[in-house]
Structure 1
Amino acid sequence: MLESTFINGYGFWLLFGLALLASEFFVPGLIAAFFGIGALLVGLLTLMGVVETTPVQLSLFIAFSLVALFALRRHFKRWLQGTEEDLAVADQDDAGFIGARVEVLSDFADGFGDVLLNGAKWDAESTEHLRAGEHAWVVGHHGIVLKLSRQQP
């Protein structure tokens, strides 16, 4: 009698839902959270007296969880994890270099020279002949080598 009351009770579903939601912090994968949502919904319906029997609770749990998983996962994944999937392929201007104005420190020889950006000396390359004291703009970068142009991007 105690087992059936515990499994049928709203407390079980609410605790189970919270445990599933909490498990998402320890084993991230954005799947357990949707089963947690399903369990919480069943717990709330049981608390309100809409659902009473175990088979109906289990059926609703499976239905709510799968609907939440397939309907909401894509939206939550983009919201929680962002849209960047492969930083090696994506534009890596995370430091905000592109469009920055730099001061040329040394004449560019064979397309390479040194520039000053944010108080630090950087290696740079340009197809244009740049002279010391001139200003240029960062139009890209390859690793830690800045690519420059006289024209502002």
Structure 2
Amino acid sequence: MNIDWTVTPASLWFLLGVLLIFSEFVFPGIIAIFFGAAAIVVAIILFLGFDLSFNVQILVFAALGAVLLLLTRNRLKAWFQGASSKGQHGVEVLPIGTQVVASEDFVDGGGLVHYSGARWNAESAEPVSAGQHVWITGRRGLVLQVSPRPPGQ
């Protein structure tokens, strides 16, 4: 069996697309994934035998990436980051009773929790262990107030 390891423009565009899509996991912002998809589309076009100059490939990549970004980013943003609502002055409203996970053991009533893909400072009047599920009971500035029991219990 003889494997042809020839590097083609289609394979380079495909590799670029895969790298851009995976970069979204490292640097989330829901932008690179659209340009990754655009690069993969350019790779498919070249694989199908269309003979495009390098300038046209760049133009198709940039235009398709921009169109995908502008038309679908806001629709998909909530799916990737989770839905949230904004209160007065654009401040995110964190729903009371939302379950979050403690990232570490709380020391002197304070620690970190994960909420909506981000780490938040949190405080609790009761002991909390790493990995324990807790519920948001309030917010003081950028610090979430949490409890090991759901609100109302």
- Where in structure 1 do 4 or more consecutive aligned residues deviate above 4 Å? 85-88, 141-144
List alignment gaps of at least 5 residues for structure 2: 1-5, 100-136, 139-144
Other-structure match for 1:66: 66
- Taking the aligned partners of 1:51 and 1:68, their CA distance within structure 2 comes to 23
CA distance in 1, matches of 2:48, 2:85: 42
Separation (CA, whole Å) in 1 of partners of 2:52 and 2:92: 53
**Residue 49 of structure 2 is aligned to residue 49 of structure 1:** yes
Q: TM (normalized to structure 1)?
A: 0.55
Tell me the TM-score normalised to structure 2 length: 0.55
Matches within 5 A, 1:23-102: 23-84=23-84, 89-94=93-98
Deviations 1:71-117 (A, max 9, x none): 1111111111111256963331225xxxxxxxxxxxxxxxxxxxxxx
Structure 1: stretches of 5+ with no match in the other structure: 96-140, 149-153
Q: How far off is 1:56 after superposition?
A: 1.0
Distance 1:93 1:51 in 2: 57
Structure 1 Cα separation of the partners of residues 92 and 27 of structure 2:
25
Q: Are residues 90 and 49 of structure 1, via their aligned partners in 2, closer, same or farther at CA, if it must alter by over 3 Å?
A: same
Where does residue 134 of structure 1 map in the other structure? none
Question: Which of structures 1 and 2 has the bigger CA Rg?
Answer: 1
Contact in 2 for aligned 1:51/1:57 (Cα 8 Å): no
Does the 8 Å contact 1:38/1:61 carry over to 2?
A: yes
Residues matched between the structures, number: 99
Classify 1:147/1:79 alpha carbon distance in 2 versus 1 (closer, same or farther; 3 Å).
closer
CA contact (8 A) 1:16 1:39 kept: yes
CA distance in 1, matches of 2:95, 2:19: 38
Call closer, same or farther: CA 1:90–1:17 in 2, change over 3 Å. Answer: same
Determine the C-alpha separation between the residues in 2 that align with 1:79 and 1:147: 30
- Identity, % of aligned positions: 31
Q: Which secondary structure does the structure 2 equivalent of 1:92 belong to?
A: coil
